[in-house]
Structure 1
Amino acid sequence: MDKMFKRTLLGAVVAFASTGAMAAEETGQIGVLSDFKVDVYGVAAISAFYQEDGNGYDYENESRIGFRASKDMFDNVNVFMQIESGYVGEDGSGSTLGARDTFLGLRGDWGQVRFGRMLTPMYEIVDWPYSNPGLGRVFDWGGDVKAHYDRKGDIARYDSPAFGGLTFSLSAGRGDTGTDGSNHFGAAVHYNVADIVTLHGGYENNSKVDGVDVDASAYIIGFELPLPAGFGLAGAYKFADGAQYTDWATTGLDAEQSSYSIIGQYWNGPWGFKLGYAANDESELEGVNQNDGDEVVSAQLMYVHNGFVPYLRVGQHDAYDSSDKLAFVRVGLEYGF
């Protein structure tokens, strides 16, 4: 046994020495085998949240970390990858590496193509700018009809270069990998008109969405309009035609819902203020009104200094089919690195 241990240890030492020699020959640095460019990045974000009729205040930790690497493979073909963790949350259970955008891709002056897990083109528009500040509980995840994904694995995505003021994105892949015939297709287009207003449009189609026997589709149209003296305005309309969350076990029933978002903002140096309103119309299930409309109004004051963003957010909502208007307040600090 002792002889076997010594042989194993010797083999490990030889292997380590040969690896170090290869590393030194490859890069001149012991222990470094690759000349890929590698970056570590992340967001540190913590906030205290309180809502009327809740169980008290809560600290919400949305900190996350990621890694990026890239290297030129051919002329005008750069290979790049990314792996990003989820939010820390209450106990770290959702912070697994790969929970957020994690992919391998190729890029050049022809655009970029990625394979893996990432935001869908339509959801990028839903998320920004139309769910901030604090409107996501209605305009994003607070809807009553499942028709589009936010982040999707098992897809390929192409993002175009800029053609004047025009860019577009396409995505395609599997929907629910455990369901035969469940597939995903998405698209988005962005057009800046004479450096005055930016128009956004997105579409998504998901057959047998999340394994339920419903073919779903959704679209969004919106605008961003900078105004003089630091003011700005943004607005969007979203329509979802898919499956009703409350009747998820019932397959084959068609549901639809319209949503709206409008946001005004004002910046004066490092100080910023946003006021937003979002609403979901009452959804319909097989043409029957479900009496589940909701709305949120939210205001946010923020200060940007040296990369740090402290903010205060207050608002009121009746999301998640609440029978009363509930006030909420959030104070937080975040910064990227």
Structure 2
Amino acid sequence: MKKTLIASAIAAATFSGSVFAQAEMSASELAAKMDSMPSVYGNIQYVLKHTNVDGGGSEVEHADNGSTLGVKHDHEIAPGITGFFKLELEGINADDKSSSNGIDALDEAYVGVKGDSFGQIWVGSDDSVYESAIVKIGNFHEVGSDIFGNYSTGEGDLVQYMSPSFGGLTVAAAVQVNGDSDTKGGADKSYPYQLVATYAVDALEVSVGMDSNDGGAAADNNENSYGLTATYSAGDFSVIGEYQTRKDVNDIVGVMGVYTMGANQFALSYQMLDDDASGDKKDTVILQALHNVSDHMYVYFEGYLSGSDAANEYSLEGASGDEQSIASVGAVYYF
């Protein structure tokens, strides 16, 4: 396993007083100890973004677009069984130190076990199995679409499971454990759950999923969310279709094409949301051009054009409008 300089420095400092004092320790034993160290990873993300709302003014912003720092580790518990954990922190605000308190937020934290025969189970805070399998377009872009999903189960207090592949079929499930002290809106304790099935054959992958949405306040709509996503890949080109529905909330449809050409990636997507309560529709077109500068750095351009039936859908500088455009350029360095 390739180690970062940070991990190597930590390992060297840890073992310098004890390992090197033991003449009997072999090079292979030292290498094994080095391999047992956690992997440190992270990224710095910057974006320069111009936003314009028709009738609501415009603004230019230079921002941190989600810089993170994390640590992860896995080890063999028994033959064929591996234990693992991950801790990822965010909230760095790397664009302006005067507004940063350092790392002040949690993105992911979980612990689990996996094996070839039974799949994997993990507990903690992570993207849910529904989000990972169904919300492909909303998770794809760097700046992020204003149309994402219509489910309400969050990313914390999750117990999740994913099976091994059975001839291309995998199943996954998640339950969120909301106790007496951490329920939303004053509701009683609850256990919202998600179920997902994914089938992959040759160039086609299809996922279907549902979210019970049972974790909100008693007055909230807890109708199930249902989602369907299909991805077809043919060499350097792939196309993704997505559909989500939730009774008395909204329907979401989207399609995206992605083409890779050497170090370059181009993507074009369209999403539409139909709101059941108001009857209003809104849609978003997104264009992305991304270039991988190296194995650890990429730059990109993203353009967003959004429109809505609602006259006050998008707000900026104290005014609202029914159309919004965003032009952004960004850079990401990761290790």
Report the TM-score, using the length of structure 2 for normalisation: 0.76
1:325 to 305, 323, 326: 323
How far has the Cα of 1:88 moved from its partner? Answer: 2.7
- Relative to structure 1, the CA distance from residue 210 to residue 304 in structure 2 (aligned partners, 3 Å threshold; closer, same or farther) is farther
Determine if contact 1:133/1:299 at 8 Å carries over to the other structure: no
2:241 equivalent in structure 1: 235
Percentage identity across paired residues of the two chains: 20
The alignment status of 1:70 with 2:74, answered yes or no, reads yes
Secondary structure of the residue that 1:58 maps to in structure 2?
strand
Instruction: List alignment gaps of at least 5 residues for structure 1.
Output: 1-19, 242-254, 285-289
CA contact (8 A) 1:273 1:302 kept: yes
Partner of 1:84: 88
Match of 1:133 among 141, 151, 162: 141
Are residues 1:160 and 2:163 paired? Answer: yes
Q: Which residue of 2 aligns with 1:189?
A: 197
**Residue-by-residue CA offset, 1:130-160 (whole Å, 9 max, x unaligned):** 54336953331xx6x5x323x5211211122
Question: 1:82 Cα shift?
Answer: 0.9
Corresponding residue number in structure 1 for 2:12: none
> Residues 213 and 262 (structure 1 numbering): CA distance in 2 closer, same or farther, change over 3 Å?
closer
Q: 1:212 to 1:101 in 2, by over 3 A?
A: farther
Partners of 2:263 and 2:332 lie apart in 1 by 15
TM-score (norm 1): 0.75
Query: 1:2-54: per-residue Cα shift (whole Å, max 9, x none)?
Result: xxxxxxxxxxxxxxxxxx779988x979xxx9984410112221111111145
- Tell me what 2:225 maps to: 218
Q: Is the 8 A contact 2:135 2:242 kept in 1?
A: no
- Structure 1 residues 332 and 134: CA distance shift in structure 2, 3 A: closer
Q: How does 1:1-337 map to 2 (within 5 A)?
A: 36-53=36-53, 54-61=57-64, 62-89=66-93, 91-92=99-100, 95-96=103-104, 99-109=106-116, 110-133=118-141, 136-140=144-148, 147-149=151-153, 151-175=154-178, 177-178=182-183, 179-193=187-201, 195-209=202-216, 213-227=220-234, 230-241=236-247, 255-284=248-277, 290-307=278-295, 308-318=297-307, 321-322=313-314, 323-337=321-335
1 CA distance for matches of 2:213 and 2:119? 25
Higher helix proportion (structure 1 or 2): 1
Q: How many residues align?
A: 289
- Letter in structure 2 aligned against 1:259: I
How well do the aligned residues superpose, as a CA RMSD in angstroms? Answer: 3.1
Mapped partners of 1:82, 1:183: distance in 2: 24
Paired AA for residue 168 in structure 2: G
Aligned to 1:14: none
Give the unaligned 5+ runs of structure 2. Answer: 1-16, 315-320
CA distance in 1, matches of 2:240, 2:103: 32
Q: CA 1:93/1:277 → structure 2, altered by over 3 Å: closer, same or farther?
A: farther
